[in-house]
C-alpha cells in the first residue's frame, strides 16, 4: 500500500515538472543568475551551518545532562546566573528567601546527579554480577530451591528464649554486631548458654578462651539453629570457632544416634583457600574432638584432604569413616572425581575466606563441589573481606541466610598499628634489616613474587637471621616444616607469599612487613591481619615507592584514614578526580572490590577482569583458569 501511494506521488511530481519544462522561461542575465546562485549557496550553507549549530547545541545539552556530576563545580556559577535572573524577575521576594530557594534547587540538582551516578553504578554492578547462581549444576538443572533452613536438635536455653527482641537488639548494639535476615537467631553472650558440653568449655579455657567474641556471640547460635550464614568479621576475631564448634556438636549427635561405619561420611565439609589454613583448621577440630573423647564421648574422625601430600594416606583415613573433612578445592575435586570421597551424607558446608576463593577464580570448582551434594545442606561463608558483588552472588547459594557483620567488610583490624614508608626499590633489602629491629620476633614478611621471597630469605640467612620461607613453588614437606618451626617459635622470621596471608593464626606475631604493596587492598587487610589478633596489638610496616599503582595507593590512603592511622604526607597529598565522589550514597568506596579509594566506575580490578575476559574469548577453558598453588 505504502509503496504504491508513494510511487503515485512521485509520478505526480514528475508530471508537474515536465509541465513546467513545457512552459516558457524568460532570459536572465549572467550577472543576475550568478547572484542568485550565490545567494542559494549562501542559504544552503546557512542551513548547514544552522544545522551543525543545532546539533552541537543538542550534544552540549545532552552531555551536560549526562555529566552533571562532572560539572558539579561549575554549578555554583550557573547558580549565580540564575540568581541574578531570578532577582530581576522577582525582586519583591526577600533575598534570604531567594537564597534558600536557590539553595534548595541546587541541592535537588545535586541529588539527581547523585542518584544518576548511583543508578549507573548499580547498572555496572549488575552487568558484572555472576549470571548463574552459586549452586551445584544438578540443583540448577532441576531448579531445586530450598525454602526452609535445615532443622537441628538445638534450641536456645529457656532463659534466652524468654528475652524480648529489644533485649537481643541491645546486646547486639553493645557488641557492634549487625545482623540481617529473616527470623533472626538470638545472640548469646557465654559458651555455657550455648549448651556446649563441659569438655568443650574446659578445652576452650585451656586455650585462654573464656568469653565469646562478637562474631561468636551471634554466629554460633545462628549455626547451631541450622541457619545458612555469611559471617564477616575482622581478622583474628575468632571466626574459626563459629563453624568448627557447631559441626563438632552435630557430628557428635549423629554419631550417638547411629555410629559411623567404614566408608561413611563426611557429614561436614570445610573448604579452605590454602593447604596451610586447612591444616590449621584440621588441628583445631582434632583438639576439640580429643577434649570430648577424653571426657568419655565417642571420638570423632576428621580427615584432611590437601594437595602435596600422598593421596594414599588421606584415603586410608577417609575409608575408615569420617565425620568431618577439611579440604582445599583442587585435591577434593580430584578425589570426588575418582569417587574416592562422596558427599552423599554431607549436610554441612563451611567455606573459610570465601570471597578470596571466589575472587581467585575458583568459583567453578566450588560449583562443581556443590553438585556432589545429594540433598539440602547448611551453607556457611566466612571472611574478613566480602565485597558486595560476592555477597550478592553468594546469597544465591544460601537458604534464608543470616548475615552477621562485625565491623565493615574489608576494614582492617583496629588493633594493628599501620605504618607506611617510602623506600626506593633498590634500598628495600637493606632497609628490611633495619625494619626488623622495630620489634622483637616473631616477624612475618610478605612479598608478592616467589623470587622475591627466595632472595629475601637468602639475604636474611646471610645476615644471620633465623628465617624460613614459604611459597607455592616449594614442596609441601618444606612448607609444612617451615610453618611449624615458625609457629613453635623455633624460627624468628617467616618470609612468605600470599599463601600465608589468609586465615593463618600464628601466635603473637609482633610485626608484619609488606616488602611490597599487594595488588589488591583486600590482600593487604588479610596480610596485616596476621598480627593484632584477638585483643593483642601489633605493627604492620608497608614499603611503597613509585612502582606502586596510584589506585591501590588511594585505597590504602582511605583505609588508613578509616582506621584512624597516621597517613604519611606523600599519601595524604595524593588526590584524584574520582575522590570527590567517594562518599556518594550509603556505601563508601567501590562496590565491586571494596577498595575505599575509588568508585566502581574506576575499579582497576574490574577493568583487569574485563580485559582478561575479552582476551579469553574463544580460548579453551583450562587456559583461562587460574592455576594458583592449591
Interacting residues with Mg ion (CB under 5 A): 239, 503
Does a cis peptide bond (omega within 30 degrees of 0) precede residue 98?
Answer: no
Scan residues 289-328 and list those touching ligand ADP (CB under 6 A). none
Q: Tell me if residue 105 falls in helix, strand or coil.
A: helix
Residue 284 Cβ vs ligand ADP, minimum distance, rounded to whole Å: 8
Instruction: Based on the shown chain and the rule CB under 6 A, indicate whether residue 410 belongs to the binding site for ligand ADP.
Output: no
Scan residues 506-545 and list those touching ligand ADP (CB under 6 A). 533-534
| Beta strands per DSSP E along 377-473 | 378-383, 402-406, 416-422, 443-446, 467-470
Which one of Mg ion, ligand ADP, none is in contact with 480 (Cβ closer than 5 to 8 A by kind)?
Answer: none
Instruction: Based on the shown chain and the rule CB under 6 A, indicate whether residue 213 belongs to the binding site for ligand ADP.
Output: yes
Which of 329, 321, 227, 234 is CA-nearest to residue 277?
329
Please say whether the beta carbons of 216 and 190 come within 8 A. no
Instruction: Based on the shown chain and the rule CB under 6 A, indicate whether residue 239 belongs to the binding site for ligand ADP.
Output: yes
Residue 207 Cβ vs ligand ADP, minimum distance, rounded to whole Å: 5
The full length of the chain comes to 630
Instruction: Based on the shown chain and the rule CB under 6 A, indicate whether residue 203 belongs to the binding site for ligand ADP.
Output: no
Query: Of 165-173, 229-237, 559-567, 600-608, which segment contacts ligand ADP by CB under 6 A?
Result: 229-237
Please say whether the beta carbons of 329 and 255 come within 8 A. no
Query: Of 156-164, 233-241, 248-256, 544-552, which segment contacts ligand ADP by CB under 6 A?
Result: 233-241
DSSP codes, 34-81: HHHHHHHHHHHHHHHHHHHHHHHHHHHHHHHHHTTTTTHHHHHHHHHH
Which one of ligand ADP, Mg ion, none is in contact with 207 (Cβ closer than 5 to 8 A by kind)?
Answer: ligand ADP
Query: Cβ closer to ligand ADP: 389 or 530?
Result: 530
520: left (phi over 0), alpha (psi -120 to 50) or beta: beta
Residue 530 Cβ vs ligand ADP, minimum distance, rounded to whole Å: 9
Please say whether the beta carbons of 216 and 507 come within 8 A. no
Please say whether the beta carbons of 518 and 197 come within 8 A. no
Which one of ligand ADP, Mg ion, none is in contact with 410 (Cβ closer than 5 to 8 A by kind)?
Answer: none
Instruction: Based on the shown chain and the rule CB under 6 A, indicate whether residue 488 belongs to the binding site for ligand ADP.
Output: no
**Inter-axis angle of helices 311-319 and 329-337, to 10 degrees?**
70
DSSP codes, 12-25: HHHHHHHHHHHS--
Give Dmax (Cα) for the chain: 125
* Range 15-53 burial, b when 16+ CB lie within 10 A, else e: eeeeeeeeeeeeeeeeeeeeeeeeeeeeeeeeeeeeeee
Query: Of 99-107, 205-213, 358-366, 577-585, which segment contacts ligand ADP by CB under 6 A?
Result: 205-213
Instruction: Based on the shown chain and the rule CB under 6 A, indicate whether residue 219 belongs to the binding site for ligand ADP.
Output: no
Residue 384 Cβ vs Mg ion, minimum distance, rounded to whole Å: 8
Query: Cβ closer to ligand ADP: 506 or 592?
Result: 506
Which one of Mg ion, ligand ADP, none is in contact with 209 (Cβ closer than 5 to 8 A by kind)?
Answer: ligand ADP
Residue 630 Cβ vs Mg ion, minimum distance, rounded to whole Å: 17
Instruction: Based on the shown chain and the rule CB under 6 A, indicate whether residue 212 belongs to the binding site for ligand ADP.
Output: yes
Residue with the shortest CB distance to ligand ADP:
238
Task: State whether the Cα torsion 247-235-488-495 is positive or negative.
Answer: positive
Query: Of 108-116, 155-163, 230-238, 436-444, which segment contacts ligand ADP by CB under 6 A?
Result: 230-238
Residue 238 Cβ vs ligand ADP, minimum distance, rounded to whole Å: 3
The runs of H, that is alpha helices, within 342-497 are: 354-357, 363-370, 388-395, 428-435, 450-462, 476-487
Near ligand ADP by CB under 6 A: residue from 186, 187, 219, 238:
238
Query: Of 68-76, 206-214, 246-254, 390-398, which segment contacts ligand ADP by CB under 6 A?
Result: 206-214
Which one of ligand ADP, Mg ion, none is in contact with 401 (Cβ closer than 5 to 8 A by kind)?
Answer: none
Residue with the shortest CB distance to Mg ion:
503
Task: State whether the Cα torsion 347-353-356-357 is positive or negative.
Answer: negative
- Indicate the Cα dihedral angle 134, 140, 145, 146, nearest 10°: -60
Instruction: Based on the shown chain and the rule CB under 6 A, indicate whether residue 505 belongs to the binding site for ligand ADP.
Output: yes
Residue 80 Cβ vs ligand ADP, minimum distance, rounded to whole Å: 54
Please say whether the beta carbons of 281 and 326 come within 8 A. yes
Please say whether the beta carbons of 619 and 598 come within 8 A. no
Residue 277 Cβ vs Mg ion, minimum distance, rounded to whole Å: 7
Instruction: Based on the shown chain and the rule CB under 6 A, indicate whether residue 235 belongs to the binding site for ligand ADP.
Output: yes
Rounded Cα–Cα distance for residues 329 and 305 (Å): 9
Residue 194 Cβ vs ligand ADP, minimum distance, rounded to whole Å: 12
Near ligand ADP by CB under 6 A: residue from 168, 224, 226, 240:
240
Rounded Cα–Cα distance for residues 365 and 464 (Å): 43
Query: Of 123-131, 210-218, 509-517, 612-620, which segment contacts ligand ADP by CB under 6 A?
Result: 210-218
362-381 mask for ligand ADP (x: CB under 6 A)? --------------------
Please say whether the beta carbons of 626 and 360 come within 8 A. yes
Which one of ligand ADP, Mg ion, none is in contact with 212 (Cβ closer than 5 to 8 A by kind)?
Answer: ligand ADP
Residue 503 Cβ vs Mg ion, minimum distance, rounded to whole Å: 4
Q: Determine the size of the site formed for ligand ADP (CB under 6 A).
A: 19
Q: Which residues bind ligand ADP (CB under 6 A)?
A: 207-209, 211-213, 216, 233, 235-241, 503, 505, 533-534
Amino acid at each position: 500500500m505504502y509503496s504504491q501511494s508513494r510511487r503515485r506521488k512521485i509520478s505526480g511530481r514528475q508530471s508537474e515538472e515536465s509541465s513546467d519544462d513545457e512552459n516558457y522561461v524568460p532570459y536572465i542575465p549572467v550577472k543576475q543568475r550568478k547572484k542568485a546562485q550565490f545567494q542559494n549557496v549562501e542559504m544552503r550553507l546557512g542551513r548547514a551551518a544552522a544545522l551543525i549549530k543545532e546539533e552541537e547545541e543538542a550534544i552540549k545539552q545532552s552531555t551536560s545532562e549526562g555529566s552533571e556530576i562532572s560539572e558539579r563545580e561549575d554549578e555554583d556559577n550557573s547558580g549565580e546566573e540564575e540568581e541574578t535572573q531570578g532577582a530581576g524577575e522577582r525582586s519583591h521576594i526577600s533575598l534570604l528567601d531567594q537564597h534558600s530557594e536557590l539553595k534548595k534547587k541546587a541541592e535537588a540538582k545535586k541529588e539527581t546527579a547523585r542518584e544518576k551516578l548511583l543508578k549507573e553504578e548499580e547498572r555496572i554492578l549488575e552487568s558484572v554480577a555472576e549470571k548463574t547462581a552459586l549452586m551445584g549444576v544438578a540443583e540448577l538443572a532441576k531448579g531445586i530451591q530450598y525454602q526452609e533452613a535445615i532443622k537441628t536438635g538445638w534450641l536456645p536455653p529457656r532463659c534466652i528464649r524468654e528475652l524480648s527482641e529489644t533485649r537481643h537488639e541491645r546486646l547486639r548494639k553493645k557488641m557492634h554486631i549487625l545482623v540481617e535476615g529473616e527470623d533472626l537467631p538470638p545472640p548469646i553472650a557465654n559458651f555455657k548458654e550455648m549448651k556446649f558440653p563441659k569438655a568443650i568449655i574446659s578445652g576452650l579455657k585451656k586455650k585462654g578462651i573464656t568469653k565469646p567474641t562478637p562474631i561468636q556471640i551471634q554466629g554460633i547460635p545462628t549455626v547451631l539453629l541450622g541457619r545458612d550464614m555469611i559471617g564477616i568479621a575482622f581478622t583474628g576475631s575468632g571466626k574459626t570457632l563459629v563453624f568448627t564448634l557447631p559441626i563438632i556438636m552435630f557430628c557428635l549427635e549423629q554419631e550417638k544416634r547411629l555410629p559411623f561405619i567404614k566408608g561413611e561420611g563426611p557429614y561436614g565439609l570445610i573448604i579452605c583457600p590454602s593447604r596451610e589454613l586447612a591444616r590449621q583448621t584440621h588441628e583445631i577440630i582434632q583438639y576439640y574432638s580429643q577434649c570430648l573423647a577424653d571426657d568419655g564421648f565417642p571420638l570423632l574422625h576428621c580427615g584432611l584432604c590437601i594437595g602435596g601430600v600422598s593421596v594414599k594416606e588421606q584415603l586410608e583415613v577417609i575409608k575408615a569413616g569420617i565425620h568431618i573433612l577439611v579440604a582445599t578445592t583442587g585435591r577434593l575435586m580430584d578425589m570426588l572425581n575418582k569417587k574416592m570421597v562422596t558427599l552423599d551424607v554431607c549436610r554441612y558446608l563451611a567455606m573459610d575466606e570465601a570471597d578470596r576463593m571466589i575472587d581467585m577464580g575458583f568459583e567453578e570448582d566450588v560449583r562443581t563441589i556443590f553438585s556432589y551434594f545429594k540433598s539440602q545442606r547448611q551453607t556457611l561463608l566466612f571472611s574478613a573481606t566480602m565485597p558486595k558483588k560476592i555477597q550478592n552472588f553468594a546469597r544465591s547459594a544460601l537458604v534464608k541466610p543470616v548475615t552477621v557483620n562485625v565491623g565493615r567488610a574489608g576494614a582492617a583490624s583496629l588493633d594493628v598499628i599501620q605504618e607506611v614508608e617510602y623506600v626506593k626499590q633498590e634500598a628495600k633489602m637493606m632497609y628490611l634489616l633495619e625494619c626488623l629491629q622495630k620489634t622483637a620476633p616473631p616477624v612475618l614478611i610478605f612479598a608478592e613474587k616467589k623470587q622475591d621471597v627466595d632472595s629475601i630469605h637468602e639475604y636474611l640467612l646471610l645476615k644471620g637471621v633465623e628465617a624460613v620461607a614459604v611459597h607455592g613453588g616449594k614442596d609441601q614437606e618444606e612448607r609444612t616444616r617451615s610453618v611449624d618451626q615458625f609457629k613453635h617459635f623455633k624460627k624468628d622470621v617467616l618470609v612468605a607469599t600470599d599463601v600465608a596471608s589468609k586465615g593463618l593464626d600464628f601466635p603473637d606475631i609482633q610485626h608484619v612487613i609488606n616488602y611490597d604493596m599487594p595488588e589488591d587492598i583486600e590482600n593487604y587487610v588479610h596480610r596485616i591481619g596476621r598480627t593484632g589478633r584477638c585483643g593483642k596489638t601489633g605493627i604492620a610496616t608497608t614499603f611503597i615507592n613509585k612502582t606502586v599503582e596510584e589506585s591501590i595507593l588511594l585505597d590504602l590512603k582511605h583505609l588508613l584514614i578509616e582506621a584512624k592511622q597516621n597517613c604519611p604526607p606523600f599519601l595524604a597529598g595524593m588526590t584524584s578526580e574520582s575522590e570527590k565522589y567517594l562518599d556518594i550514597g550509603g556505601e563508601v568506596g567501590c562496590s565491586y572490590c571494596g577498595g575505599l579509594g575509588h568508585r566502581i566506575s574506576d575499579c582497576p580490578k574490574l577493568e583487569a577482569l574485563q580485559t582478561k575476559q575479552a582476551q579469553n574469548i574463544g580460548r579453551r577453558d583450562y587456559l583461562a583458569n587460574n592455576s594458583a598453588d592449591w
